[in-house]
Amino acid sequence: MPVVEQGGSLGFILGNEFVRAKIRVAGFYYTAASVPRTIDLFESEALFNFYPIQLFSSEPRAFDVYVSGGISLDILKFYGNYLQKDNQPINYSDYKEPYLGKLSQVNATVAFGVEYHLPYEFDFVHVFAEAKYGSPIQSIVDREAFKGTSIKSFTSISIGVGFGMYR
């Protein structure tokens, strides 16, 4: 089933002008209205961004490109009324769908991104756009009904802002 998730994440970046570690501590996402099932996603991730143009030019630029590689942990929680037991009637009067189970998955990821640097003397603000591809390494489910369920591979598009201070 194709799934579209929407949400946001918080994290931090450490490094220099050539290589930066991007740690996304907590990402919270929920299914888009176009998806017929409710699936919440929690994601933590560690990426290493490499900035190849920095090797050839020490001049500051407004735009920069990077490639990334890393690992992510995704926890998907499934909700709905599609796994009722023993033909029990479904209670549609409850406004919240019942929790059905979860999938925990470790993924290898690669990404390509573009950053725009807003100019400041000591502080920085980077607006970025990133396209990422991931593939599973390990999947674990907590309910027999979801055995064999996994994210085969995924692509994601992220747009965001990084900010902080050079030291």
CATH number at residue 18: 2.40.160
Question: What confidence category does residue 84 fall into, taking pLDDT thresholds of 50, 70 and 90?
Answer: low
| pLDDT band, very low/low/confident/very high, at 89 (cuts 50, 70, 90) | low
Please report the pLDDT score of residue 67 as a whole number.
Answer: 97
In this prediction, residue 91 carries a pLDDT of 63
Binning pLDDT at 50, 70 and 90, where does residue 88 land? low
- In degrees, rounded to 5, the angle at the alpha carbon of residue 157 between the alpha carbons of residues 17 and 31 is 135
Burial 43-80 (b: 16+ CB within 10 A, else e): bbbbbebebeebeeeeeeeeebebebebebebebbbbe
**Mean pLDDT computed over 31-46:** 86
Q: What is the pLDDT of residues 46-55, one digit of tens each?
A: 999 999 988 8
Tens of pLDDT, residues 95-154 = 678 888 999 999 999 999 998 887 766 567 888 999 999 999 999 999 888 888 888 888
Provide the token pair at 148: 């064999």
DSSP 6: E
The whole-number pLDDT of residue 166 equals 57
Amino acid letter at 40?
A: D
CA 145, 99, 108, 140: dihedral to nearest 10 degrees? -40
Q: How many domains does the chain have?
A: 1
**pTM for this one?**
0.80
Residue 101 belongs to domain spanning: 5-165
